[in-house]
Amino acid sequence: MRTLFTLSRVFAKLLSLLHTAGMTTRRERLRAATVAEIKEAALAQIAEVGGPGLSLRGVARTIGMSPAGLYRYYEGRDGLLTELITDAYNALADAVAEGVASGGEAPRERFVGGIRAYRRWSLENPNQFLLIFGTPIPGYAAPREGPTVAANRRMGQQFFMIGLEAWQQGTFHPSPDSRAPTPSEKELAELLDPEFPPELVPVMLGTWAHFHGLTTLEVLSQFDWIYGDDTEAFFDREIERLMDSLALEG
């Protein structure tokens, strides 16, 4: 009898734990759904008024929640902005990763695949693109070494590591820089990979600046006056010219 009683207690406790776990899962699902709704409303507001105009009160009104209720999910506007910016960087990083993976075998093919994916995501998500690369939001500062920095680094590393691979293979021959690497360039190189040559850092940053600049101009419709809605051919020619200037072999 004592053994049966003990087993019954164990079984009852196990059922209680399973029930509690199920309740927790439901709460987590509800919370995740609410957070997704908050973010969707915030992005819609940003599309209308821009990042600087984001208002927690306005977001709460849109989803039918009290402003006080919204603070159960975010401590303030900056917390919500940090998540939105992190999400955007990670979405861009995912797109670049997919473009790199489907680009081909050679470093040049993968690099170009990543650049094209960068452009495509930016054109398909202009509001998120401008949130992370547009006008700075007054009063907002990303947490130092926080999630936005990690997500941004995740995106950039994919291009840098292709450059390192091509350099090690001897298929990357950019023009040498006569000056010595700066301490910041050395620090970034070490952060990326102990074998990353510091002299390659400004080359990779300049490469990103080139295709990012083209992408930004297209997102802002600055090529419409001459190319209309079809700037892809122009973009592709510029990217091939950029690859040639780097002597990045295919």
Residues paired with 248 in a beta bridge: 172
- Rounded Cα gap, residues 149 and 111, in angstroms: 22
Percent of the chain with pLDDT over 70: 90
Q: Does pLDDT of 89 surpass 90?
A: yes
Q: Does pLDDT of 9 surpass 50?
A: no
- For tokens 């969707």, the residue is 40
Grade residue 234 by pLDDT with cuts at 50, 70 and 90.
Answer: very high
- Rounded Cα gap, residues 54 and 61, in angstroms: 13
pLDDT for position 219: 94
pLDDT for position 202: 92
Q: Does pLDDT of 21 surpass 80?
A: no
Give, for 188, the enclosing helix (H) or strand (E). helix 183-192
Average pLDDT, rounded, for the chain: 86
Grade residue 250 by pLDDT with cuts at 50, 70 and 90.
Answer: low
Q: Domains in the chain and their CATH numbers?
A: 1-74 (no CATH), 78-250 (1.10.357.10)
Q: Does pLDDT of 64 surpass 60?
A: yes
pLDDT for position 226: 87
Q: Does pLDDT of 246 surpass 80?
A: yes
Instruction: Enumerate residues 6+ apart whose C-beta is below 8 A from 132.
Output: 85, 88, 89, 92, 152
Q: Does pLDDT of 164 surpass 80?
A: yes
pLDDT for position 11: 43
pLDDT for position 22: 53
